[in-house]
Amino acid sequence: MEPGSKMLEKIQKALTTRSGTMRELLAEALGMFILMVFGLSSVAQVVLGRGEFGQHLSINLGFGIGVTLGIHAAGGISGAHLNAAITITHCILGNLPWRKLPAYLIGQFLGSFTAAATVFGLYYDALYDYTKGNFTVTGPTATASIFSTYPAPYVSLPGAFFTEFIATAMLLLGILVIHDERNNGALKGTQALLTGILVLGIGIGMGMNSGYAINPSRDLPPRVFTAIAGWGMDVFKAGPHWWWVPLTAPILGSLAGVLIHKLFIDFHNQPVLESGEEKGQPVKLASESRKQRNN
């Protein structure tokens, strides 16, 4: 083995972690970073480009593409939650040990926060040109909404909360339908793409009132970044005090989505038969069809 190859092997061993929890943290961080860079940069281009470099649809496409690629990056290691509401829901349902919750949340926070800093650096000159150096949360040259969500002026706080609740319920319901192998689950390998399309659909249909945060990990870390980077504590006061809604409504909406799926689909699903019968076919009908073939 050449000396250079030995050195690379040593570096790889030094950087490789044996901890499964750490691998999941790193996977969530990278997946979240990819998701948020695509999403936030698409918002920045629309806002700072004054509508000449994209519209509302391009923002939704950016987040949809980011979700798809983020899932491909992290899915095989952590399951690609990329959403604190989804992680907490998995813990409540017993699908994920509570001891892993901090690692998932830290990974998501780091990925999202770093993505906000990256987009800030990417569009730093455009931000200064657009705002003349005055970073504001509201007003004609407001730019805080590039990084985090804020409700539309016409929406009441309960109305915006309800929007986030319903949008997240639809997110979880859609994810469960896509992955439901006992019903009519997606073809293997298409789940990431379909989840990205699902997020695109939510943005197209439910993004007007509150910017469809549907994810505490998407909203809080960039909000913290903007508070540090020059927008100040107004990012927590605007809305008014909107910041807590993207943290709580998605968690409740996530649980509601799971409940709806269980009540309407999962509890009634038939087990997958091993005899080659068509998936989802009731056992009684399957036995009758076998009798007819034997006759």
Q: Please report, for the chain, the start and end positions of each structural domain, with discontinuous segments joined by +.
A: 19-269
Instruction: For 73, list phi and psi in degrees, rounded to 5.
Output: -70, -40
Q: How confident is the model at residue 278 (pLDDT cuts 50, 70, 90)?
A: very low
pLDDT number for residue 19: 79
User: pLDDT tens digits, residue range 158-199?
Assistant: 999 999 999 999 999 999 999 998 998 899 999 999 999 999
Q: Which residues lie closer than 8 Å to 210 by C-beta, 6 or more apart?
A: 149, 150, 151, 152, 155, 160, 163, 164, 245, 246
pLDDT number for residue 118: 98
38, 119 Cβ separation under 8 angstroms: no
Task: State the pTM of this model.
Answer: 0.88
Let me know if domain 19-269 sits in CATH 1.20.1080.10: yes
